[in-house]
Amino acid sequence: MAKNFAKLIVGLGNIGPQYTYTRHNIGFMAIDALAKEYNVKFDIKKKKSALGVAKIGDKKVALLKPQTYMNISGEPVLYTASFLKIPPEDIIVVCDDVTLPVGKIRIRKEGSSGGHNGLKSVSYYLKTDLFPRIRIGIGEPPEYVPLENWVLSNITLKEYQILSKTLKVFKKVIEVILFEGIDSAMNKFNGLEPEDYEDILESSDLFSFNLED
């Protein structure tokens, strides 16, 4: 079990059915989309973790949804990374970002938490912020809505229509990271806006690999 994993991909969110469709849980939604694509079951129960294993091409990847609240997500991330012997540079953390337009993807090799409590917790437990992260925009709240209320509110139908395309592109992002590297993924996706995603999903020219080879 604890051998030959290319990456540990972590989606951040809050546990409990009341949070399932909230903006703050876009990290969980992204991991679930990846799990559905690759027929992954989260049937490995470790410390405060729901863990599954995906085979993407010839790469073995661990998918993790911490079974804690957002602000203590780092504990199961550290436990799982230690158990699987995965270094921080091979841990990809996926989370929401209120500073990005709804559905926009931004990939970074490393960086600060930007005020995100889940990222802050992961950095604290790993004792480094030198791990890749993929932020997915949920938009800024209206002036009259407190930030906490905004992130813990359910996404709207209009947002869902945008985010459903984003989650399909997210799967392509992970494939590019695995087979071309994170620099290639940053170059290909960071400059795109959500309205570009339909064209990206229909194009094969963007990718230099074939998972069926």
Look at residue 160 and tell me whether its pLDDT is greater than 80. yes
Q: At residue 190, what is the residue type?
A: N
Pairing mode, if any, of strands 91-97 and 133-137? parallel
Is residue 24 part of the annotated active site? The answer reads yes
Helices 117-126, 74-84: crossing angle, 10 deg rounding:
40
SS3 (DSSP) at 123: helix
Positive or negative, the CA dihedral 180, 183, 184, 186 is positive
Tell me the residue length of the chain.
Answer: 213
> Number of H helices and number of E strands within the chain?
7, 7
Question: In whole angstroms, what is the distance from residue 153 CA to residue 169 CA?
Answer: 24
Query: What is the pTM assigned to this prediction?
Result: 0.92
Q: Is 115 exposed, middle or buried (0-12, 13-18, 19+ CB in 10 A)?
A: exposed
pLDDT digits (tens, 9 = 90+) for 102-126: 999 999 999 888 889 999 999 999 9
Q: Which domains does the chain have, with CATH numbers?
A: 7-202 (3.40.50.1470)
pLDDT of residue 202: 77
Catalytic residue among 7, 23, 24, 104: 24
pLDDT tens, 34-71?
999 999 999 877 779 999 999 999 999 999 999 999 99
